[in-house]
Amino acid sequence: MLLNGSRDARIGAMMPAIDSIMRAMRKDYAGVNYEGAIHGFLRAQDDPATGASADAGPANLAATRDAWPRTVAFLKKNLGVR
């Protein structure tokens, strides 16, 4: 699982290659690049003290609302938690 903010250009640029490698290895994998969100969007979702990322607040919050349930489902599935 790779959950990334699109404003993290370094990781975003690597995502197509990562997706291809994971498919080639037949891994159960999901990657999401959240439009407008920053690196560390979960931490910074509504923190006005993040400086340059303050303008990404709505995108960070939208990414968090989608990413958090995905993360919990991933952990439950892969750790066998009910």
The CB density around residue 39, as the number of other CB atoms within 10 Å, is: 16
Contact 29, 1 (CB under 8 A): yes
Phi and psi for 51 in degrees, rounded to 5?
Answer: 65, -115
Range of the domain at 32: 2-79
**Count of domains for the chain:** 1
Q: What is the chain's pLDDT, residue by residue, as a tens digit (82 residues)? A: 999 999 999 999 999 999 999 999 999 899 999 999 998 888 876 566 655 556 778 888 899 999 999 999 999 998 987 7
The neighbouring-strand residues paired with 4 are 33
